[in-house]
Structure 1
Amino acid sequence: MRLTGSQSITAFFFLLLFLLSGCASHSALPAVEKEEKETTKLQIGAVFADGQDPWLSFLMNGVKEYEDGNEEMEAVYTDAENDSNKQIEQAEELIARGVDSLMVTPVDMVAAELILEKAARADVPVVLVNRESLETESVYVGSDAFSFGVMQMEEVAKQLGGKGNIAIMNGQIGHPAQKQRTEGNKSVIEQHKSMNIVLEGTAGWNREQGKELMKNWLESGQNIDAVVANNDEMAIGAIQAAEEAGVLDQIVFAGIDGTPDALSFIQQGKLAATVFQDAKGQGQGGIDAALQLAKGEKPEATTYIPGELILKENVDVYVEKWK
C-alpha cells in the first residue's frame, strides 16, 4: 500500500520515537545495575564495647581495614562506651534493622548473654570477639587467655629466680579473660614453693584504677617483688604509682596486650614483659567469621589468635607491627 505524504511524515515520527525510547532504556541499564549491586552488599553489625580503650581501638581499626578491602559487605559500627545496657540496646537496633550478622566485643557477660539470646530469636548469627560467653555457645575469635597468663607468669618466675611475693592485678572480675589469665598465673605459681600471692585486687582494665590500686598496696607496707597485671593499661598505672613512690627499680612489672604504650615502657626498662595480643588479627578474624555467617557458611567454632612474649630484646619487632 502506498502512503500519502502526511502518512509518511507520521510514520517517520513514530519510528523516531521508538528509536529514542530504545536508546533511553539502554542508557538507564547501568544505573539499575549499580543500584542492585549496592543493595546486595551484606550488612554486618560491628558492636564494640569501648572505642576509647587503646587496645580495642586497634581491633576496630583492623575491622575497618578488612571492610575497605572487601566488596561483599559493609559494616555498621556502634560504640557502647563501656555501658552494658547501651550495648544491648545498640544490638537490638541493629537486629531490628535487619543486619545479616553481628560481630560483638561484649562490654561484659550480661551483655554477651542477652545479645546472643535476642539475636537467636531473630535468627541473626553472632560471632563474639576477644571476650567469649561463659554460658551460651557461640562462634568465638580471640586469644587463649589461660595460655597468656601462663606465658606471662613463667617469665616473671624466671626473672625472680622462682621466688618472691606476687601481687596480681585483675581486670573486671568475672570477665572470661580476667578469670582465665589469672588462673594461668596461679597455675605457674603453684609450681614454685617460694613464690607467694600476697595481694590481689581489681583495677577494671583501667590505667588510673591500676595506679590507685598500686598506691594502696604500697601504703599497706606489704613487700612486693612483682606486679602481674591482666593487661598493659593496669600494669602501666602500677608502674606510674611505683615511680612516684621511688620504688620502681625494686619491683618486676608484667602486662598483657603488647600495646604501643606498653612497648615504650619496655624500651625504657620499666615494664619487664608483656604478651602480644594481636588486636588487628582478632578484629579481622572476627569480621571474616561474621561475613561467613552472613553468607550462610560455618566458620570454625573457636579461633585462637596466638600470643607472643615480648621482652626488651625483641620489642623492636613489635614496634614495627603497630606502624
Structure 2
Amino acid sequence: MEDNIINNFENRIDTSTLIQELNLLREGINKVVKGQHKTIDLLLTAILADGHVLLEGVPGVAKTLTAKTLAHMIEGHYSRIQFTPDLMPSDVLGTNVFNAATNSFEFRKGPVFGNVILTDEINRAPAKTQASLFEVMEERQITYDGQKYDMDEPFLVIGTQNPVEQEGTYPLPEAQLDRFLFKIDLGYPDEQDEYDVLMMHHQHEKPTNLITEEYKLNPAKLKEFRDLAKKVIVKDEIIDYILKLIRTTRATADFYLGASPRAGVALLNASKAWACLQGRDFVTPDDIAYVIKPVLRHRLIMTAEKEMEGENMDRLIDKVVHSVAVPR
C-alpha cells in the first residue's frame, strides 16, 4: 500500500481525514509489529470487509502481538482464548449461572464477546468446541438456551495455527475454514526488521509502549470507513471476472474441492475493501489479484496426485488466475 493514499472518491463525503487516520493506524501497527507489512494490510482489509482471519506461522513471528496491537489501535475490546483439548463450548460462549439473590439463572458472557477475538492455536480444541464458533462467525450472534445475544461491532475473529507441529491437533472442518475471509501465511521478517526486534528487546522496550494516541483510529471513524467500503463500485465485467475465477476452480483437474459461492462473496468484499484502502471508489483486476490467494488458499483442496507431487497451493491459484481472461 502506498504511504500517501490519494482520495479519489467522487460525489461522496470527504474521506481525506479518514484516509489520513488509516495511514496513521497502519504506521502505528508497523512500529510495534516488525516485518509483517502485508499481513497488517490484509488485516485492515479484513476489518473493513467485516471478515475473519486465520494466521498460520511458526511460533515467534508475532501472531499474538499483531492481534493485540490491532485491538488497541482501534480502541476495541481484546479477548484471547487459548484453545486446548479440554476447552468446552461454554468456556468460549458463556453459560447460565444461578443467582441466589434473584433465585434465577443469569447468562454470563464468555470471552467471545469482544471486538478482536484471538483464538490461539484454534486447531488444538476438539470438533464440538470448534463448532461453537460457527454461528458467531457467520451471523455475529450466539444462541444459548433459546436466547440470542448479538456481538458488538466491529467483530473480528483471528485464529492462529502452527503449520509445523501437528501432534495433538484437530484439523479445522471445511465449514469453519470457509468462514475465514483470509488465510495469511506469516513468514520470517527480513534482516533489518529482525535487527530492530533484537534492539527493542536489548533496550528493554516493550512493544506495547509504542502504542500512542496519535496512531489510534476512532471507533466512529472506523465504522464510517467500513460503511464507505461497502459503497465501492464494482462493474459488471468485474463481477463476471470474479464468477469465472471461482467457477474455474471447480472445473480444473488440479482441485478435489473447488471454491464455494461464499468464496466468491469473500473475494468480492475483500476486493472492495482493498480498493477503498487504496483511495479508490471502484474495483480493478489488480485488487482481485492482490487478495485472491489469502481468500482461496484455505478453501481449496488439491487432488491427492498434486499433493504427492509436492505442489504449492499458491501456484495452483496463480494457474487459475492466468487461465481466465482479464477484463479490459
**TM exceeds 0.5?**
no
Q: Which has the higher helix share?
A: 1
Larger RCO: 1 or 2 (CA < 8 Å, sep 6+) = 2
What's the TM-score once normalised by structure 2's chain length?
Answer: 0.25
TM-score (norm 1): 0.25
Q: Which has the larger radius of gyration?
A: 1
